[in-house]
Amino acid sequence: MKSRFVCQNCGAYSPKWLGRCPNCGAYNSMVEEVIEKTETKIKNVKPVILSEVPYENYQRRSVGINEMDRVLGGGLVPGSLILLGGDPGIGKSTLMLQISDFVSNNDGKVFYVSGEESSSQIKLRAERLSAQVDTINILAETELDTILNVAEEVKPDLMVIDSIQTVYKSNISSAPGSVAQVRECGGDIMRFAKTHNVTTVIIGHVTKFGVIAGPKTLEHIVDTVLYFEGDREGQYRILRAIKNRFGATNELGVFEMTGSGLKEVINPSSIFISDVVAPGAVIVSVIEGSRPFLVEVQALTSPTFFNYPQRVTTGIDYKRLAMLLAVLERRVGINVYGLDCFVNVAGGIKLSETSSDLGILLAIASSIKNKAVGKGLLAIGEVGLCGEVRPVYGIDVRLKEAEKLGFQMVIAPAKNKLPENFRIRIIQVSEVNEAVSAVFNT
């Protein structure tokens, strides 16, 4: 019987044990996996013409939370397999229990499997969330074959596995949560969901590297991958779709954690911006999926006491900040070399869209000049290395969101064709020095 060693973090293989994974660099992540020989069975199958494949009209089921429905693409699809990842204690079990309560109260049968908590613990949480405890089927079990046998008897419309790290197959010698167990259990759950047309949600924990524990192949076999983000000590949670075979990716939903469970935030832009007018604070516009968000970017600069100035970021890419600082010094003429620079995105959201470049640059310039940009100003635009302000997509929906929230002035790229009938004052600029002059009257 042969064996190999597999990294629990990234799924890389090695013929021998290594103290550090050569692929992802994680220490003590290589575990032994027994390779069992199986006879290959050849199936007698024939291909079909794509035009002859019957069209399936998926009847989505709402989960009762508009933010969740938006991220899913309109609701739950029968037979789909969903992976919900997040840090421990972020609210994954709370969210799924609330969804289970809504589905069970709307002519749906729910089968909730917990390998981390007892049935009494789940009942206590359900009572705290005011859930109907007499309509949800609960099973505290970790052996997969037993779980699937019970699920076949229950015939649920929604099955929840909490969590995949605790489920195991008895014919595999590896420990629960290992690469072999997670991969094989995930494959069996996927086959059960497709065969019995059961919508299944798998909950997975996130490692210290920020990825869902277990092999990356688990993300490949599922239909939808959702990440639950946020600070456990904070009030707000962000649900992000990384992969979705039945809807748009990069959709984002915002929730508020309360004593009675998670509540959807109707107007997320209002929680990411504040009424405080201070040097270094600028509002930017980003689009997540099909939805515009207005987010406050804060910058703080101070003289450095080290040979190399500090560059600290929260919510934006460190390399993007270094590029913007170089553009600010070379193209605008503002000295930043002898200054420590700290940039933070308020509300815990992460900015990956380049349309926030101009706002970040103006926030840094505002901090250096110690002059506030003024209330009601929105900055939109991507910044290039030559100092040009490049156009962005979705300018109309960004302006509509700004107008709805009462903004009076927008700095926008000159190459963007602006829609008509807007009451906001729009200043179009082609270079960053024009934007700095327009904002600070220099």
Same domain, 100 and 115: yes
The β-bridge relationship of strands 224-229 and 236-244 is antiparallel
CA angle 129/130/136 to nearest 5° reads 90
404, part of any domain: yes
Neighbours of 60 (CB within 10 A): 17
CB 210 within 8 A of CB 216: no
What's the pLDDT at 215? 52
User: Is there a single domain that holds both residue 233 and residue 281?
Assistant: no
Chosen domain end from 266, 301, 336 = 266
- Among residues 350, 405, 88, 93, the alpha carbon closest in space to that of 238 is found at 350
Strand residue runs (E) in 245-329: 252-258, 261-264, 281-288, 291-303, 311-314
- In the prediction, which pLDDT does 122 show? 92
Global pTM?
Answer: 0.78
Residue count of the chain: 442
Domain identity same for 226 and 325: no
Question: In degrees, to the nearest 5, what angle opens at C-alpha 392 toward C-alphas 386 and 397?
Answer: 155
Is residue 107 assigned to a domain? yes
CA–CA distance, 410 with 363 (Å, rounded to integer):
14
Strand-strand pairing, 81-86 and 224-229: parallel
Q: Looking at the domain assignment, is residue 248 inside a domain?
A: yes
**Could you tell me the sign of the dihedral formed by the alpha carbons of 377, 352, 65, 99, in that order?**
negative
What's the pLDDT at 209?
Answer: 52
| Distance in angstroms (rounded) separating the CA atoms of residues 234 and 230 | 7
In angstroms, what is the C-alpha Rg of the chain? 25
Provide the pLDDT for residue 251: 81
Q: Are both 246 and 392 inside the same structural domain?
A: no
**Among residues 234, 266, 298, which one ends one of the domains?**
266
> CA–CA distance from 268 to each of 3, 151, 273, 288, 289 (Å)?
51, 38, 9, 12, 14
Rounded Cα distance between 393 and 282, Å, is 20
Looking at the fold, whether 278 and 357 belong to one and the same domain comes out as: yes
Taking only the tens of pLDDT, the chain with its 442 residues reads 577 888 877 778 888 888 888 888 888 888 887 766 666 677 788 899 988 888 777 789 999 999 999 899 899 999 999 999 888 888 999 999 999 999 999 989 999 999 989 999 999 999 889 887 788 999 999 999 999 999 999 999 999 999 898 999 988 878 888 888 888 999 999 999 999 999 999 998 876 555 555 556 688 899 999 988 877 667 888 898 889 998 888 788 889 988 889 999 888 887 888 877 899 999 999 988 778 889 999 999 999 988 889 999 999 999 999 999 999 999 999 999 899 999 999 877 888 889 999 999 999 999 999 999 988 899 999 999 999 999 999 999 999 989 888 899 999 999 998 877 788 899 999 999 999 999 998 6
In a domain, 200, yes or no: yes
- Range(s) of the domain holding residue 12: 2-35
Residues 411 and 326 both lie in one domain = yes
Same domain, residue pair 190 and 278: no
The predicted structure's pLDDT at residue 322: 94
The partner residues of 382 in beta bridges, in order of sequence, read 390
For residue 104, report the phi and psi dihedrals to the nearest 5 degrees: -70, -30
Together in a domain, 320 and 405: yes
Residue 204 CA to residue 216 CA, distance in Å, equals 12
Residue 53 lies in a domain: no
Whether a cis peptide bond, with omega within 30° of 0, leads into 163 is yes
User: By C-alpha distance, which of 247, 248, 264, 246 is closest to 99?
Assistant: 264
Q: Are residues 230 and 278 in the same domain?
A: no
Tokens 């997320």 — which residue? 268
Distance from first CA to last CA of the chain, Å, rounded? 76
Considering the domain architecture, whether residues 224 and 279 belong to the same structural domain is answered as no
Residue 54 lies in a domain: no
Is residue 378 situated within a structural domain?
Answer: yes
- How far apart CA 71 and CA 254 sit, in angstroms, is 10
What's the number of domains the chain is made of?
3
Clarify whether residues 198 and 64 are in a common domain. Answer: yes
The Cα 334–Cα 262 span in angstroms is 45
Cβ–Cβ under 8 Å, residues 244 and 72: yes
The CB-side HSE value for 31 (13 A sphere, CA atoms) comes to 18
